[in-house]
Amino acid sequence: MTQVLSVVSECAPLVKTGGLADVAGALPIALEQEGVRMRTLMPLYPQVKSRAEGARKVLSFDDLMGGPARVLAAKVEGLDLLLLDAPHLYDREGNIYLGPDGRDWPDNAERFAALGRAAAVIAAEGVNGWRPDVLHGHDWQAGLMTEYLYQMGLSDKVGTVMTIHNMAFHGLAPAEKIGTLGLDSERFTSEGYEFWGQIAALKAGLINADKLTTVSPTYAEELMTEHFGFGLDGVMRYRRDDLVGILNGIDDKAWDPKTDINIPPYKTPRGKKRAKAALQKEFGLPESNGPLCVVVSRLTEQKGLDLLLEAMPTLTARGGQLALLGSGDAGLEQAYRELANHENVGVRIGYDETLSHRLIAGGDAILVPSRFEPCGLTQLYGLRYGTIPCVALTGGLADTVINASPAALAAKVATGVQFSPITTEALRNAINRLCDLYQDAATWEKMQKNAMAQPVGWGPSAAKYAALYKDVLALK
């Protein structure tokens, strides 16, 4: 059995700020069916500590980025966890990345370098007789694990995989922190972890790891372009032969309209009517002749939510409605609060996991107008619940939704609506197409049935990860 240590900054259901946590929580369980044992190394935040009763110490550090630390082993919600307990780094309430002022914690470089350092030590020494064959790091927060592994002389012995969930975040730190982070200054070069005069944790991972993955085939191609590469497209082109796009899946047991305890359960598209009526009542929306569209998202320009604001008159003019759950940019939050004055718009600022289930179950369509989207999960939840995705043609949105083109409609295989270019005008056109399709009851129901029949679970993707780990080990 292949032994893998997943190194990640967040993991559902313990702590979540985005889709990364969902992936980190679901993948270990899916991999069990593929002969892979995955343990998860993550920080012991306060909200995690309350769930990790009975945790036992398996490793100690006298000084880890400025203070003593230890690694605790625990099993929670079916996950085999190794928790990095470093109070000077993680014992902080609120958002795990941001301080009370809404800005990054000033010591985020140290906080997540510690995570990478701990991963490398576990790979070198093991814990209680267990040692990973492969380290699998996620995003910049795990990037430096590969650098520490190199400095310890273990790159040829331990396999490494880095997964890019979002290239926009590099984990930058000033060069003055090279000593503080325990990095080799001679590797602070353009061929190493240097990026425009700064330390780049993500670049370290991309340069050093045996294999690179990202969360959809289309995003893998996009990352090699200047537009999507955020300055690292050259690195991605250099590593082209070691890069693979593997679609994310979803936990299809937690997200199952037949058994979901958060909604009136249903098995067919027609069963959605009760969920829709309940959602309209919850958001104070009247009955309407147009589609009830939902959004569950961070409110950012990356997610295209500024475009949706501009396109909303098209939706409401067609009798459509919007129910939105999200938080993020203060300006967008305020704009959506003001939009909620419209009788056919309901808005909740914040995040609520159970409400997200009710939204996706009750909506006729889910809107995902992202400017870039490595994979996206909400469109997968929409497919699972027969809630038609209306998405931008990018990343995983391009790979998971079958556009309602004339050919796809004639073949009766369409599952949603895609639009390109990613502009307000194109989104308006997509909304009009969506409303036209909604008025054709037979076509709409067929699309819903197609959507609900799509395979969106982790099975196929877990098999690809298992094969990738074997490829990595074959290099050693």
Q: Which residues are annotated as a binding site for ADP-alpha-D-glucose?
A: 16
Q: Which token pair is 160?
A: 């490494």
Query: Which helix (DSSP H) or strand (DSSP E) does residue 92 occupy?
Result: none
Contact 339, 323 (CB under 8 A): no
Taking residue 422's Cβ as centre, other Cβ atoms within 10 Å add up to 17
CA angle 159, 249, 219 (to 5 degrees): 70
Binding residues: 16
Task: Provide the angle, in degrees to the nearest 10, between the axes of the packed helices 424-439 and 441-453.
Answer: 110
Burial 62-95 (b: 16+ CB within 10 A, else e): eebbeeebbbbbbebeebbbbbbbbebbbebeee
CA angle 318, 324, 325 (to 5 degrees): 170
- How far apart are alpha carbons 462 and 57 in whole angstroms? 30
Contact 23, 215 (CB under 8 A): yes
- How far apart are alpha carbons 327 and 243 in whole angstroms? 33
Contact 250, 380 (CB under 8 A): yes
Q: Are strands 56-61 and 36-43 parallel, antiparallel or unpaired?
A: unpaired
How far is Cα of residue 457 from the mean position of the Cα atoms in its chain? 15
Q: Which of 411, 420, 413, 364 is nearest to 391 (CA)?
A: 420
Q: Assign residue 376 a region (left: φ > 0; alpha: ψ between -120 and 50; beta: otherwise).
A: left
Taking residue 419's Cβ as centre, other Cβ atoms within 10 Å add up to 22
Q: Which of 210, 72, 396 is nearest to 416 (CA)?
A: 396
Sheet holding 134-138, edge to edge: 56-61, 69-76, 79-85, 36-43, 2-7, 134-138, 159-164, 211-214, 243-245
Half-sphere exposure of 105 (CA within 13 A, CB side): 18
- How far apart are alpha carbons 171 and 168 in whole angstroms? 10
Phi, psi of 321 (to 5 degrees): -130, 160
Taking residue 221's Cβ as centre, other Cβ atoms within 10 Å add up to 17
Contact 396, 247 (CB under 8 A): yes
